[in-house]
Amino acid sequence: MNLLERGRISAYQFFAVLVLVRLVPVVVICPTVALVNNPATAWANDVIGSLIAIPLVWLIVHLGLKYPDKTIIGYTKELLGPIGGILVGSLILWLYFMIAASVLRTLGEAMVTSLMVETPILVFLASAAFLVANSVRNGMEINSRLTGIMVPVAVFLLLVVIAASYNLMDPGYLRPIFFAQGLGELIWPSASVLSFYTEFLVIGMLLPHINVNDPRQVLPLSIGAIFTSMFILVIHCLSMASVFGPLLNSLTLPTFSIARLVRLGVIFEHIESLITIVWLFAGGIKVSLFLRTTAVGLAQLLDLKDYRPLVYPLGALMVAVSVFSYENLIEVISVLTGSMIVFSISFLILILLVLYIALGKKDFFGKGTSNAGQG
Amino acid sequence: MRVRARVLLVCLFLGCLFCSGCWDRVEIEDLGLVMLAGFDRTEDGLIKVSVHVAKPFAMTGAGQEIIDEKPFWPVSTTGHTVFQAVRNLASESPRQIFWVYDRVLLIGEKLAREEDSITQVLDFYNRDQEPRMGTHLMVVKGTTLDEIMSARFELERQPNRGFDEIGKVVAARKSTSWVPTALEFCRELETEGLEPVLGAAEVVHRPRHEPEQGVLREVTISHTARISGLGAFKGNQLVGWLNDRQSRGVLWVRGKVRSGIIVIKNPQAEERLISLEIRRTGRKITPQMIDGRPVIKIRIDVEGSFGETQEEIQFLGDSELWDSLERRFAAAVRNEVLAALQAAQEDLESDILGLGRAVHNAYPREWQVMKDNWDEIFPTLKVEVEVFATLKTSGLTLRRIRNR
């Protein structure tokens, strides 16, 4: 069992990858806002969802640290044996693949809804998939380096847009902090926030590649990424709520809408293209991250020597899946705010449960982790 | 082979440079930019849209020779729905009508007075990719949409700039009107315990000035527009008008007063007047629950300067005088607020002041019960208004110019 990739990513790049993964659903389609009842309390969902993500991510990292030289596919196979390994491993890969396809589709839908109304969405999906597949074939190092550069740029652009909308904000819309329908109001939006953190399962594939002296440093890095994401989410949410007030849950692309409103003086206006830049870079990098993860994981699962031949077919399949899995933008949002929440959270918990039970059984029978590192 | 593939790939990407924009590619020469738009209801119940489309070839920049042609083209169409009416412009305009640059949106009085009609316009505005929610919204008062769209401004060649800039200047210098953006209006429409207001645009007729023989050629505009007062809404329906005084009263409570002139009587010579300039303002609304009923306390802090006097007035050595000026200043501001309150509570029965919103913020639990019958509570609501006024300066002079 080899890693199929000699690439190493720095601790910072790992951190940036995680922040990027969580940033994309904030800036593109922010489906959480559709569930929010009282915009003044929307930020609480971000905090709750992020805090609940911490134990889940701790479980992901803790498992990975048992096998610091293996990817999640590697140790799934080892823990569950050939048949169970292939079964659970392919489920994990399916999740990665679905994330890639879903992000690609959201990106396409966002472009088609906002700026390029007349262009067929397939043009975006196919051309993006082609570019992404090429970047995947070039290995993870280039991609990670790009992530390291682009995440601060993306966050900066987002903050510029938010700062430029200061004169539209009415802080009165951040009050009252009150739940008209009881605290139950918080459940769905918080779960929606949490559901995107399940994408941090990608840590399982990145962990053996991180260039740190002690693999245990991955944990604080991951938790740090959660807190950074939470910080961005809360800032984003507070500014959204104070600009849009009760209109917040009526928007399909809230971040884009805020950028459209910005008008400072005569020159500084029509800055929505800044948000589009963020979409294309952040979204593109995220798709390529998950496509690469799927390709490498599949190669490891099937004990192939190289993952590269899988990339183009998977890319083509990704386009097909992204086209066929949703009918339209409304369906994308209703799936992301409905079934996908339940699915992604329970799926992650189930996978972790199976792996931890297998690990516990193995430890119990005294084998321990002595096999680790042979891979 | 690999080299050839790479060259091919590079060529492919170079191709992208020339077809950027994909299917949405459009040349600026093919666009007709909407500068000013207005919506109204026709006699037959159709939606009417009137726009001014920019005529780029008639626009001149600084230093260029002024062309004697109006730099816009007024055109209007009708339709059963807002979007249909808008798209019907396509059969009259040789250029694709493009909404991105529209800054001002006028709502005809007839449309505004109908229930749930202004929201039809705003649905198109918020939903469509082209128009922006940052567009300023005004309601036409006492005239037709056509007439106000034909108003021209002496200082601006583009009427849209006239409306836009007057809206800004009135709000900043006089605070007797306030022109919200479509975003602000929609936000207020959905805010609990707050009814929206819009700046009112009126037509002004000026006497035509006949150029005399021998003077330089001079063109005067006899038909222009002004923004004065507010149109008060109840829900999505226009229910009445507020004059300048009442409008500033509303804006005091909303915390939107930025400047303006308050005229008071001279305490030493009652028949003579004094002008005070509003410099800095602040407001605080504190609702209290007394016996299960809300009582609202409005506190307004205003800082001003002594702007003008009609009669000799001696400040030095008379601190009592300065105090009494401040008291009169406070009373004048309070009267404006009371006028607004009276209009809102008695005439309009519409909470344009946002008192319900203050109750909602302070007593969210009680508000859940109250919000459904706020319309009945509001007209009988007890409101206490306190104004604290200070005068900071008498300007560059201490005394008035004297008659010898």
For chain B, domain boundaries: 26-242, 243-404
pLDDT greater than 70 at residue A312: yes
First CA to last CA distance, chain A: 5
The answer for residues whose C-beta is within 8 angstroms of residue B12's C-beta and 6 or more apart is none
CA distance A286 to A147: 9
pLDDT greater than 70 at residue A236: yes
CA distance B175 to B179: 10
Prediction ipTM score:
0.87
User: A183 vs chain B: nearest CA distance in angstroms?
Assistant: 13
Per DSSP, the three-state class of B106 is strand
Q: How many CB atoms lie within 10 A of CB B323?
A: 12
CATH number of A12-364: 1.20.1740.10
With beta carbons under 8 A apart, name residues in chain B contacting A168. 134, 181, 183
Overall average pLDDT of the B233-257 stretch: 94
Closest CA to A341 of A154, A151, A187, A126: A187
Overall average pLDDT of the A225-248 stretch: 94
CB-CB contact of A200 with A60 (8 Å) = yes
pLDDT, position A202: 92
pLDDT greater than 80 at residue A265: no
Confidence class for position A51, pLDDT limits 50, 70, 90? very high
Distances (CA, A) of A5 to A37, A204, A298: 46, 14, 13
pLDDT greater than 90 at residue B154: no
Question: Hey, which residues 233-252 in chain A have their CB within 8 Å of chain B?
Answer: 243-247, 250
Q: How many CB atoms lie within 10 A of CB B276?
A: 25
CB burial of B241-252 (b: ≥16 within 10 Å; e: otherwise) equals bbebebbbbbbb
Domain B243-404 has CATH 3.30.300.210: yes
Per DSSP, the three-state class of B340 is helix
- pLDDT one-digit tens code per residue, B88-146: 999 999 999 999 888 899 999 999 999 999 999 999 988 988 888 889 999 999 999 99
pLDDT greater than 70 at residue B1: no
pLDDT, position A375: 36
Domain edges within chain A: 12-364
Cβ-defined contact of B22 to A117 (cutoff 8 Å): no
| E-strand stretches of B175-292 | 197-205, 223-234, 237-242, 260-265, 273-290
CB-CB contact of B252 with B333 (8 Å) = yes
Whether the upstream peptide bond of residue A176 has omega within 30° of 0, thus cis, is yes
CA distance B355 to A236: 29
CB-CB contact of A319 with A125 (8 Å) = yes
Instruction: For B269-293, give the DSSP string.
Output: STTSEEEEEEEEEEEEEEEEEETTE
Crossing angle of helices A339-364 and A329-336, in 10° steps, is: 40
pLDDT greater than 50 at residue A374: no
CA distance B353 to B242: 12
pLDDT greater than 70 at residue B60: no
Higher pLDDT: A181 or B127? It is: B127
pLDDT, position B86: 94
Confidence class for position A372, pLDDT limits 50, 70, 90? very low
User: Mean pLDDT over all residues of chain A?
Assistant: 89
Which residues sit opposite B301 in a β-bridge? Answer: B282, B388
With beta carbons under 8 A apart, name residues in chain B contacting A262. 134
* C-alpha triplet B333, B336, B342: angle, nearest 5°: 145
Cβ-defined contact of B183 to A178 (cutoff 8 Å): no
For B25, the closest chain A residue by CA position comes to: A116
- pLDDT one-digit tens code per residue, A77-136: 988 888 999 999 999 999 999 999 999 999 999 988 888 888 888 888 998 999 999 999
